[in-house]
Amino acid sequence: MTSPSAAGFSPERLARLDDVMRTRYVDSGRLPGILTLVYRNGMLAHTGMAGQIDRERGTKMREDAIFRIYSMSKPITAVALMMLVEEGLIGLDDEVATHIPSWRNLGVYATGVASLLGGAGQWITTPTQRPMKVIDLATHTAGLTYGFLNRTAVDAAYRKLDIAGFQAEGGLDAMVENLAGLPLEFSPGTAWNYSVSIDVLGYLVQKLSGQSFGEFLRTRLFEPLGMTDTAFFCPEEKRDRFAACYMQTPNAPLALQDDPQSGMFTTPPKLESGGGGLVSTAHDYLRFCRMMLNGGSLDGVQILSPKTVALFSLNHLPNNGQIAALAPPGSFSESGYAGVGFSLGCGVNVDVAGTRLPGTLGEYFWGGAAATAFWIDPKEKLTVVFMTQVLASDVRLTLRRDLRTLVYSAMTESYA
């Protein structure tokens, strides 16, 4: 780690970052532990740690701890897709049915009650306004959904069929065929809804590459980048570093949700979820971010071209819209809505004033269900990775606000 001053930061203000995050979130009992990496100007400028990775076993936070990154898997999957785009195997404007023929006649939900239907159900649908395209999958505008949203009859059908469940029988192939029998929530390109669409991108990577999705990620992305602890499960020899995952409940802010020695991430999944199935370390994920910050290359390994990486700083929502205007009432997101568009598998800052936070146009970011977060700010030559492990935390978005504010407030110079 280098001197913070050499990376354009005030050491005293970075110390304030640690003090506020520790006091407000760890000492208060809201989070079991936190790990923050701040990288700028080609240097690791700051590492901040506090608390524990396993309260039951009394294990302190450590830099090489392994975390469930949940939806921070999505940008990785988007990069895998773009690798195949660069090889000419698929295009963002391709109709999805070109690659998934069973989806050619998908319709938009009109009526039907999932709990009264057998199997996929007998739905009444209306035609889509246009065919679904690959870009719709990458931006959550495809009309798909998540079962956990608990908003609609289509959500209920997803839950009944365990769509994208890590232990769903048949894996990605069965998921895609199950989706062929379900209606869309809306016509592609007309709204934004958080969904399993990035898992479908993982299926496309698997189909077009001829490898399992996990093998593609391992051989084409993780091993070349030196991401040695990133995978779809944590093997036994690494479990001393695997963090426990907690959940906020009405009776306890930190109730154990997934034990690191025997939980759901200790065995290979039946479905390799590109939308939320990976485990990783802060330093592994930082290597992924550094590759993107460096225009697609890291330590002599080129993953993407600089022009492809530049697409991640652009808003790909229809008519340059924002999530706030396109998301249905009661929808879920891993970010605040104001000032935020959507790029390829992650959010993008399209209106700094609208976010009410310091930031930069074109910075892209996302978070995971267990309150992890990252962002990449190409103009400021900055990337930040934050790790913790609490599901359903009521401070999930607030801590990301504070993290962003405190990091940018520690800068002594700006390049944007």
Question: 406: Cβ–Cβ under 8 A, 6 or more apart, which residues?
Answer: 13, 16, 17, 20, 21
Global pTM reads 0.96
Q: What is the pLDDT of residues 149-171, one digit of tens each?
A: 989 999 999 999 999 999 999 99
Q: Provide the 3-class DSSP secondary structure of residue 59.
A: strand
For the chain, the domains span: 90-209
> What are the φ and ψ backbone dihedral angles of 75, each rounded to 5 degrees?
-60, -35
Q: What is the pLDDT of residues 350-385, one digit of tens each?
A: 999 999 999 999 999 999 999 999 999 999 999 999
Of the given ranges (106-115, 184-193, 365-374), which has the lowest mean pLDDT? 106-115
If you average pLDDT over every residue of the chain, what do you get? Answer: 95
Instruction: Average the pLDDT over 112-126 and give the result.
Output: 69
| Structural tokens at position 400 | 């990301």
Closest CA to 359 of 307, 403, 305, 325: 403
pLDDT at 312: 98
Q: What is the pLDDT of residues 193-214, one digit of tens each?
A: 999 999 999 999 999 999 999 9
pLDDT at 321: 96
pLDDT higher than 60, residue 119: no
Q: How far, in Å, CA of 269 to CA of 328, rounded?
A: 31
pLDDT interval class at 121 (50, 70, 90): low
Instruction: Average the pLDDT over 321-335 and give the result.
Output: 84
Q: What is the pLDDT of residues 225-280, one digit of tens each?
A: 999 999 999 999 999 999 999 999 888 889 999 999 999 999 999 999 999 999 99
> What are the φ and ψ backbone dihedral angles of 328, each rounded to 5 degrees?
-70, 160
Question: 323: Cβ–Cβ under 8 A, 6 or more apart, which residues?
Answer: 192, 317, 333, 335, 337, 340, 341, 342, 347
Q: How far, in Å, CA of 214 to CA of 16, rounded?
A: 40
pLDDT higher than 80, residue 309: yes
pLDDT interval class at 120 (50, 70, 90): low
| Structural tokens at position 328 | 């249905």
Instruction: Average the pLDDT over 8-16 and give the result.
Output: 96
pLDDT higher than 80, residue 116: no
pLDDT at 233: 98
pLDDT higher than 80, residue 336: no
Q: How far, in Å, CA of 226 to CA of 281, rounded?
A: 12
Q: What is the pLDDT of residues 388-397, one digit of tens each?
A: 999 999 888 8
pLDDT at 1: 60
Instruction: Average the pLDDT over 58-74 and give the result.
Output: 98
Instruction: Average the pLDDT over 105-130 and give the result.
Output: 81
pLDDT higher than 80, residue 118: no
pLDDT at 122: 78
